[in-house]
């Protein structure tokens, strides 16, 4: 268990270094950073001096080590366009994205899992066929189409929900939350649904497929032969056995929700990190782009680590030392 | 009154290419505390009969006809919830593969306690006590410690003991044991059979032992039913059926058991294979493989006839055309493998 944890953490660090290298390379290949910082009238000498001062003449490994050192302290430099530290900009925008992602993830899990269980158990009922058909729409429609569609219905035609922004926010220290006002919630509904729809349908189809698989196993047949109630069989025995793959996918998807909230945030003008990133891309604002890249990678790596640990919580077969368990089976 | 009565049971599987009859009009009974062995090749309908009795036929399979009575009450037409309360409580089941019969994610104790609490009003503490007693009874050492372990921490034989404990945990009147030892090592098989036999005798539990292992049947069963292509070919006391087989199929089945130190003749085999459910021949289903087939066998399906101490579905014993039971028995008994093989070549 401990050795496993150490191994996973070392892997995570390697992944982060690789991502850091990529985002570091952006500075050198996405335009000349000096050109981006000085005006057109700067002289050749000024440029050379700035280059020296920024350490751009240092050997490559030294520059990379400096970048990593700064990144660990949360320092990604100063935005070319906004002239403010990238860390501050991201920290400012992060609550909006995290709240959106949190609500979307809860929405996706709390509807996807029950629907999947239902469709897995009552696979021939017309209702589960209906859900399955609807889910195809969710899987195949692009996010922005769903978003625009929702805006058209609820904001333009019916006029019941705002079409953009976060609405009323309350400041809790540096964290701006939209959870505490009715207006904030109203603004949150459509982006959250838009972002979660794909995940909901994905989780639903996955849980359904896993349930169908598990319901055929001998231990479910034996559980029936023991006279256990349907509830105990479906939710106690069957659902728990579907959880390992569901946790994997759900974990990856929370990462994906953060990374791909870009589109939803653009459609709804949601002031989160995604929107910040898209604006940074159009201005070739490399510090923001590289900071965002590293942050998203960090989120993915952390979630994967948590997912691996959750396997242990769900499946007792992983807990025992491999040697003993194999010895006993043989 | 017998504990279990099966009358004219028919199990069908509707498929796109027509309806398959997996169990075709069989009747049998099991008395209190009796062990009924059910033998036959794969696909003979023995497991289907067991599944129908316990009400767990896999859809689209269904009971299409006949009656199943437990203690005189019909159980084949009960609503799901009522039948669920009978399963585990009155009729237990043991399946073939102990490695996959237990849920890998729950400790064996939890699975036992859950089953006990489903059928009784015991408190969790009482149920746990009972679970430990059960594990001790099925011969698991240090049950106080083992109860909190997970299925993967038990060997195959130990897991089948846990499965037996689960099947017996609220003292059912009948246990359907579907090939309980097939997946185990030969040395473990004998232990498990002995355990099952001892526990059922102690608790007065009747057993329907489904297997294709004649050795297990000979050792364990009081009576035996031989099934072929969804029907009972022969049924009677175990000594009678094994020592004094009347149906040519039973005779062939006995001949195909290898035995050590008997003689050096080649092992008998029954030529051909059991017909698929889609093309069961007219008349007696065994007629294309039977060395004694005559016209009646090809046209009229035989029902069980009482012959001496057992019942046999074979026209050799109908007493018509001057056939006597003695002569027919002699005919069947003297058929050797060579004759069977010769017929196969022709």
Both B175 and B253 in a single domain? no
The pair of structure tokens assigned to B9 is 């049971």
Both A66 and A113 in a single domain? no
Is B204 inside a domain boundary?
A: yes
pLDDT reported for residue A319: 66
Boundary residue ending a domain (B195, B225, B255): B225
Evaluate whether B87 touches B176 at the Cβ level (below 8 Å): no
Evaluate whether B68 touches B6 at the Cβ level (below 8 Å): yes
Boundary residue ending a domain (A49, A72, A95): A72
Among all residues of chain B, which has the CA nearest to that of A311?
Answer: B105
- CATH number of the domain within which B116 lies: 3.40.50.300
Position B346 confidence tier, pLDDT thresholds 50, 70, 90:
very low
Alpha helices, DSSP H, located in chain A: 2-29, 33-37, 44-53, 60-72, 86-121, 126-140, 143-150, 182-215, 218-225, 230-231, 239-267, 273-282, 286-314, 322-329
Domain span at residue A319 reads 86-329
Is B23 inside a domain boundary?
A: no
Both B195 and B281 in a single domain? no
Is B232 inside a domain boundary?
A: no
End-to-end CA gap in chain A:
23
| Tens of pLDDT, residues B217-241 | 888 889 999 998 888 999 999 888 8
Both A48 and A195 in a single domain? no
Average pLDDT over residues B312-322: 83
Is B62 inside a domain boundary?
A: no
Both A154 and A273 in a single domain? yes
| Tens of pLDDT, residues B105-120 | 899 999 999 999 999 8
pLDDT of chain A, 330 residues: tens digit per residue: 677 788 888 988 999 999 988 888 877 776 666 776 676 777 788 888 877 777 777 788 888 888 888 888 888 888 877 788 888 888 888 888 888 999 999 999 999 999 998 998 888 889 988 988 888 887 888 888 888 888 898 888 888 888 788 877 777 777 778 777 888 888 888 899 988 888 899 899 999 999 998 888 889 989 999 989 888 888 888 888 888 888 888 888 888 888 778 888 888 888 888 888 888 888 778 888 888 888 888 888 888 888 888 887 788 777 654 434 433 333
Residue B114 touches chain A, beta carbons under 8 Å: yes
Both A286 and A319 in a single domain? yes
Residue B92 touches chain A, beta carbons under 8 Å: yes
Average pLDDT over residues B320-332: 78
Is B165 inside a domain boundary?
A: yes
If you average pLDDT over every residue of chain B, what do you get?
85
| Tens of pLDDT, residues B23-82 | 888 999 999 889 999 998 888 888 889 999 998 888 888 888 889 999 988 888 888 888
- For residues A271-301, one letter each, b for 16 or more C-beta atoms within 10 angstroms of the residue's C-beta and e for the rest, the string is bbbbbbbeebeeeebbbbbbbbbbbbbbbbb
Both A102 and A240 in a single domain? yes
Residue A231 touches chain B, beta carbons under 8 Å: no
Both A269 and A209 in a single domain? yes
Q: Is the pLDDT of residue B329 over 80?
A: no
Evaluate whether B317 touches B305 at the Cβ level (below 8 Å): yes
> Pick from B84, B86, B155: which is nearest to A328 by CB?
B155
pLDDT reported for residue B261: 57
| Main-chain dihedrals φ then ψ at residue B216, nearest 5 degrees | -60, -45
Q: Is the pLDDT of residue B213 over 50?
A: yes
pLDDT reported for residue B325: 79
Both B221 and B249 in a single domain? no
pLDDT reported for residue B259: 62
pLDDT reported for residue B263: 57
State the CB neighbour count (10 A cutoff) for residue B93.
29
Is A61 inside a domain boundary?
A: yes
Closest CA to B213 of B96, B298, B337, B49: B96
Both B217 and B112 in a single domain? yes
| Tens of pLDDT, residues B291-301 | 888 888 888 88
Average pLDDT over residues B139-161: 90
Both B193 and B289 in a single domain? no
Both B89 and B195 in a single domain? yes
pLDDT reported for residue A321: 45
Both B289 and B151 in a single domain? no
Domain span at residue B151 reads 33-55+78-225
- DSSP assignment letter at B91: E
Both B167 and B93 in a single domain? yes
Asked if B56's CB is within 8 angstroms of A227's CB, the reply is no
Asked if A227's CB is within 8 angstroms of B115's CB, the reply is yes
Is A277 inside a domain boundary?
A: yes
Is A79 inside a domain boundary?
A: no
pLDDT reported for residue B265: 61
Both B221 and B84 in a single domain? yes
Both A157 and A63 in a single domain? no
SS3 B238: helix
Dihedral sign, Cα of residue B115, residue B116, residue B120, residue B121: negative
Boundary residue ending a domain (B225, B259, B284): B225
Locate tokens 């067991």: which residue? B50
**Into how many domains does chain A fold?**
2
Residue A178 CB burial class (10 angstroms; 0-12, 13-18, ≥19) = buried
DSSP letters spanning A246-274: HHHHHHHHHHHHHHHHHHHHHHTT--SHH
The CA distance from A172 to A158, in Å, is 33
Radius of gyration of chain A from Cα atoms? 25
Residue B127 or B339, more confident: B127
Is B2 inside a domain boundary?
A: no
Q: Which of B14, B89, B101 to mutate to test the interface with A (most CBs of A within 10 A)?
A: B101
Asked if A232's CB is within 8 angstroms of B154's CB, the reply is no
Chain B residues whose CB is inside 8 A of the A218 CB are: 95, 97, 100-101
Q: What percent of chain B has pLDDT over 70?
A: 93
Is B18 inside a domain boundary?
A: no
Residue A149 touches chain B, beta carbons under 8 Å: no
Is B278 inside a domain boundary?
A: yes
pTM, 2 dp: 0.77
Evaluate whether B28 touches B45 at the Cβ level (below 8 Å): no
SS (H, E, C) A38-93: CCCCCCHHHHHHHHHHCCCCCCHHHHHHHHHHHHHCCCCCECCCCCCEHHHHHHHH
* Chain A with chain B: Cβ pairs closer than 8 A: 85
Both A40 and A105 in a single domain? no
Boundary residue ending a domain (A72, A103, A128): A72
Both A172 and A115 in a single domain? yes
Both B118 and B180 in a single domain? yes
Both B250 and B323 in a single domain? yes
Residue ranges of B 44-83 with Cβ closer than 8 A to chain A = 54, 56
Is A144 inside a domain boundary?
A: yes
Is A300 inside a domain boundary?
A: yes
Both B93 and B147 in a single domain? yes
**Into how many domains does chain B fold?**
2
Closest CA to A105 of A237, A235, A260, A244: A260
- CATH number of the domain within which A318 lies: 1.10.3720.10
Among all residues of chain B, which has the CA nearest to that of A216?
Answer: B58
Is A15 inside a domain boundary?
A: yes
């Amino acid at each position: 268990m401990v050795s496993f944890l150490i191994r996973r953490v070392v892997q995570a660090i390697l992944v982060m270094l690789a991502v850091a290298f990529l985002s570091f390379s952006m500075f050198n290949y996405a335009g000349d950073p000096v050109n981006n910082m000085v005006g057109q009238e700067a002289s050749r000498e000024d440029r050379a001096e700035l280059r020296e001062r920024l350490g751009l003449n240092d050997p490559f490994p030294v520059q990379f080590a400096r970048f990593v050192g700064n990144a660990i302290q949360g320092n990604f430099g100063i935005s070319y366009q906004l002239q403010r530290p990238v860390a501050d900009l991201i920290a400012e925008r992060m609550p909006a994205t995290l709240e959106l992602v949190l609500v979307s993830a809860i929405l996706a899990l709390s509807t996807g899992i029950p629907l999947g269980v239902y469709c897995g158990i009552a696979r021939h009922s017309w209702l589960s066929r209906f859900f399955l058909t609807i889910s195809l729409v969710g899987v195949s429609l692009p996010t922005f189409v769903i978003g625009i569609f929702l805006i058209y219905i609820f904001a333009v035609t019916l006029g019941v929900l705002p079409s953009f922004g976060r609405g009323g926010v309350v400041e809790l220290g540096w964290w701006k939350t939209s959870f505490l006002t009715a207006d904030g919630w109203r603004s949150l509904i459509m982006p959250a649904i838009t972002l979660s729809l794909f995940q909901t349908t994905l989780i639903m189809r996955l849980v359904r497929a896993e349930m169908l698989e598990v319901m055929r196993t001998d231990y479910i047949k034996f559980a029936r032969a023991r006279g256990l109630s349907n509830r105990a069989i479906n939710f106690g025995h069957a659902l728990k056995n579907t959880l390992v793959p569901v946790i994997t996918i759900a974990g990856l998807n929370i990462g994906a929700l953060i990374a791909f909230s870009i589109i939803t945030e653009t459609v709804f003008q949601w002031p989160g990190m995604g929107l910040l990133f898209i604006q940074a891309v159009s201005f070739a604002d490399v510090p923001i782009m590289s900071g965002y890249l590293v942050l998203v990678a960090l989120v993915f790596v952390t979630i994967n680590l948590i997912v691996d640990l959750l396997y242990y919580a769900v499946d007792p077969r992983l807990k025992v030392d491999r040697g003993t368990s194999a010895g006993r089976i043989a | 009154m017998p504990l279990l009565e099966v009358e004219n049971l028919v199990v069908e599987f509707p498929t796109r290419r027509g309806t398959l009859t997996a169990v075709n009009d069989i009747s049998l009974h099991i008395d209190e505390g009796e062990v009924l062995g059910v033998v036959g090749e794969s696909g003979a309908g023995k497991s289907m009969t067991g599944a129908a009795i316990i009400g767990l036929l896999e859809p689209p399979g269904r009971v299409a006809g006949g009656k199943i009575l437990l203690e005189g009450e019909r159980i084949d037409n009960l609503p799901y919830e009522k039948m669920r309360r009978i399963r585990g409580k009155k009729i237990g089941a043991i399946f073939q593969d102990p490695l996959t019969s237990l849920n890998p994610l729950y400790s064996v104790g939890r699975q036992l306690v859950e089953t006990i609490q489903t059928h009784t009003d015991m408190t969790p503490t009482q149920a746990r006590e009972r679970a430990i007693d059960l594990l001790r009874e099925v011969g698991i050492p240090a049950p106080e410690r083992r109860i909190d372990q997970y299925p993967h921490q038990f060997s195959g034989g130990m897991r089948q003991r846990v499965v037996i404990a689960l099947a017996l945990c609220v003292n059912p009147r009948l246990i359907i044991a579907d090939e309980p030892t097939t997946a185990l090592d030969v040395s473990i098989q004998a232990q498990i059979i002995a355990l099952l036999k001892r526990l059922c005798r102690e608790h007065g539990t009747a057993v329907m032992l489904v297997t294709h292992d004649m050795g297990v049947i000979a050792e364990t069963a009081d009576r035996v039913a031989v099934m072929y292509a969804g029907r009972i070919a022969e049924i009677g006391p175990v000594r009678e059926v094994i020592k004094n087989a009347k149906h040519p199929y039973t005779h062939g089945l006995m001949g195909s058991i290898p035995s050590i130190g008997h003689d050096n003749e080649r092992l008998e085999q029954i030529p051909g294979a059991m017909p698929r459910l889609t093309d069961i021949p007219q008349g007696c289903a065994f007629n294309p493989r039977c060395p004694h087939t005559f016209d009646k066998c090809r046209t009229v399906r035989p029902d069980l006839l009482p012959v001496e101490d057992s019942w046999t579905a074979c026209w050799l014993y109908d007493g018509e055309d001057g056939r006597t039971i003695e002569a027919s028995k002699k005919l069947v008994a003297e058929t050797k493998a060579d004759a069977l093989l010769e017929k196969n070549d022709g």
